[in-house]
Chains A and B, each alone.
Chain A
Amino acid sequence: MSHGLEVPSHQAGPVPPPLAPLARLLAAVNRAVLAVSMVALIVAAGVLTYSVLSRYFLKAATDWQDEAAVFLLVGATFLCGAYVQSYRGHVGIEAVAAILPESVNRIRRLAVDALSWLFCSFFAWKSWTLFYEALIDQQTTSSSWAPPLAIPYGLMAAGMTLLALQVLVQLLSEILVGRRRR
């Protein structure tokens, strides 16, 4: 598997003028983050390959590779969350949405986005406090390499913040566009 869930559930709607600058900024940040994540992905694959080769040929101890790959991949995952949300690529069960009348469906969409935004904001907030504590207490992982935990926590916090912002732009767009139609 993958299960090819890459099919977007529905396309992102139009962005009303007052939100356009923020939406453009977010899109630019998402593009940059996507490029960085591409590099991270290849580096992670390279690090693990190096781990196999160095252990076999150089008989070197492989102590840092797994953790380095974890940091890179966790970072890429959380940072790209907002990009995936920008085209509504996080899959949900759309069975009910398909049978609801449009007026009810609009309320459903608003409720879903509002709840998603609350959750992502909460998660982002708690990630920042986690990052802050790790930074202040200089927490490290328990391995012999012992890299600072603030790195992955910071990436997680940044990614969830971006994601919360992305959902907020989509939620506000939905509200403003709906108002103008009336």
Chain B
Amino acid sequence: MTVVGIGLLFGVVTLVVMFSGMPIAFSLGSVAVVFMYFFMPGASLDTVTQNVYEEMASITLLSIPLFILKGAAVGRSRAGQDLYSALHVWMSRVPGGLGIANVFACALFAAMAGSSPATCSAIGSAGIPEMRKRGYSPGFAAGIIAAGGTLGILLPPSITMILYAVAAEQSLGRLFLAGIGPGLLLVTLFALYAVYRYRLEHADAVRAFNERGATSAYLDDTRYTLRDKIEMLPRVLPFVILLIGVMVALYGGFATPSETAGLGAILALLLVASIYRLWTPNDLKPILTATLKESTMLMLIIGMSLLYSYVMSFLHISQSAAEWIVGLHLAKWWLLAAVLLLVVVLGFFLPPVSIILMTAPILLPPLKAAGFDLIWFGVLMTIVMEMGLIHPPVGLNIFVIKNVAPDIPLADVIWGVLPFVLLMLLAVVLISAFPAIATGVPTLLMGPATAR
């Protein structure tokens, strides 16, 4: 059988098995094993488990459970609500400040917890009712939280980025730093939109009041004193310290990324133990169970995806597909657009971990040949996958929002989220036009990238 034939068969079999509803980890593993049996030397089946172990036994990959532990510790405490309340008080004088406070709270929480859905539920459970109480339309309130939550996989430490760094053989430290600029860009865009939308809705409320005397919660004016503001600080500072401490440990050269994960997890556990008194075995059990549930599921997908990519590369499927794409001689930006479109479509069905590990061997060589910086592309790919978290049909964050605020109709949530999807698209265009938004911070702190 030719490489093309095997490649097509490999693709079709994968699709059939995956869509049968078999768990992703087992589907990838069994497709790999079956193709090893038919198309690879007999001895390769004997080393299949060794193969999986060797791919998985990297401390960079295994920092993932520890980053999840850090997020679970912060996420299961009241930290989210406290962070949100503090920002709310501090931003109360700014027009649309409540919306901005929600965006900032999402960004900060996402940076600590590293999880989109956890951010949506932690900030959303306090933020959505508060925004609605103040007259924000339900769709707008839901949109802010759904979109704010996606910042979790862009701001360091992001698990998606850890996988990309491993798959693309790029420096994890650089990649984390490259996420900061685009993360701030998105925070700014989201906040500006929140102000704009606030003004529209506020003007509507004023007009309704003038015309019909209809009162709206929008017109209430709550003011907080400086004392209120200062009293909120002790609740937020520890988490800001955690965030900064982890960054300093990583970029000050004190710790490797994986050590940072361990350190961050221990610090987060100490913080929730001292501030929220979560330290008995009964308090810790839900945190640890949630961590093990999620990390086991993810790590098995990762291990089997790596086996799958190994088979794909042994059979020359990925190389041939990559050569074929290069051979198309697409103009540079068409190639990028096509690749990103493919990522969007895959995002309808697959979690980002599988998308990265399955497509990296095929997509990255042509992009590199076209002269794209792979760190920069990693950031773009991450933003595009984030969009998958908030657009239908899968849109995981949308469903988290439905859980937090069940009375908001799904259609309202989706319409509320749409402007944010467009803003993310705008960010992709801006980062393509000005790559320095992503590559600026790593170049500044770590020097220019060396050719790999």
The interface of chain A, by Cβ under 8 A from chain B, is 1-7, 9, 34, 37-38, 41-42, 44-49, 51-52, 56, 65-66, 69-70, 73-74, 76-77, 80-81, 83-85, 89-97, 108-109, 111-112, 115-116, 118-120, 122-123, 126-127, 129-130, 152-153, 156
Contact = CB atoms under 8 A, between A and B. Distances in A.
B21 A96 contact: yes
Nearest to B382: A1
Interface stretch (B59-67, B189-197, B233-241, B310-318): B59-67
B117 A3 contact: yes
B249 interface: yes
Interface in B139-190: 152-153, 158-160
Interface residues of B, number: 78
B59 A66 contact: yes
Contact of A48 (B21, B261, B291): B261
Contacts of A115: 17, 22, 26, 30
Nearest to A56: B254
B289 interface: yes
Given A70-B57, A92-B27, A51 B259 contact: yes
Given A1-B153, A1-B352, A77-B65, A112 B249 contact: no
Contact of B24 (A6, A74, A92, A123): A92
A41 B259 CA distance: 14
Contacts of B17: 115
Nearest to A120: B26
Contact of B19 (A89, A96, A118): A96
Interface string B30-59: 100100000000000110111011001111
If over half of A's interface residues share one DSSP class (helix, strand or loop), that class is named, otherwise mixed; here it is helix
Given A49-B266, A90-B25, A111 B160 contact: no
Contact of B115 (A2, A76, A129): A2
A15 B25 CA distance: 25
Nearest to B289: A34
Nearest to A160: B49
Contact of B160 (A1, A5, A47): A1
14 contacts: A2-B294, A7-B399, A45-B263, A49-B259, A52-B249, A69-B262, A73-B65, A74-B53, A84-B293, A91-B23, A92-B24, A108-B20, A129-B46, A156-B49
B288 A41 contact: yes
Contact of A112 (B20, B65, B263, B349): B20
B57 A2 contact: no
B29 A126 contact: no
A73 B20 contact: no
Contacts of A120: 26
Interface string B283-314: 01100111111111111110100000000000
B114 interface: yes
Nearest to A94: B21
A3 B114 contact: no
Nearest to B161: A1
B289 A38 contact: yes
Contact of B292 (A51, A76, A122, A152): A76
